[in-house]
Copies of this chain bind each other. A is one copy, B any other.
Amino acid sequence: MSDHIVKAYDEDLSQLKTMLAQMGGLVEQQLDDAIDALTRRDTALADRVIQNDERVDVLEHQIEEKAILTIAKRQPVARDLREIMVAIRVASDLERIGDLAKNTAKRTHAMSDQLPRKLMSGVTRMGRLAQVELKNILDAYSHSDAEMAMEVWRSDEELDALYNSIFRELLTYMMEDPRNISLCTHLLFGAKNMERIGDHATNIAENIHYLVHGKPLGEGRPKKDVTAAMRIDLEGSDDR
Contact = CB atoms under 8 A, between A and B. Distances in A.
Most buried by B among A73, A103, A107, A231: A231
A228 B106 contact: yes
Given A72-B77, A171-B185, 10 more contacts: A64-B85, A68-B71, A75-B75, A107-B229, A109-B229, A110-B228, A110-B231, A176-B178, A185-B185, A189-B192
27 contacts: A61-B216, A68-B84, A68-B85, A71-B71, A72-B75, A72-B81, A75-B75, A103-B228, A108-B229, A109-B231, A110-B228, A110-B229, A110-B230, A112-B231, A171-B185, A174-B178, A174-B185, A175-B178, A175-B181, A179-B234, A181-B181, A181-B232, A182-B231, A182-B232, A185-B188, A189-B192, A189-B228
Interface residues of A, number: 42
Chain A contact residues, majority secondary structure: helix
A171 B180 CA distance: 11
Interface string A209-225: 00000001000000000
Given A72-B76, A106-B229, A107-B228, A182 B189 contact: no
A119 to B, nearest CB: 15
Contacts of A129: none
A216 to B, nearest CB: 8
A58 to B, nearest CB: 10
A77 B69 CA distance: 9
A171 B188 CA distance: 13
A92 interface: yes
A205 interface: no
B110 A81 contact: no
Contacts of A109: 228-229, 231
A74 B231 CA distance: 54
Interface in A142-191: 171, 174-176, 178-179, 181-182, 185-186, 188-189
Nearest to A82: B68
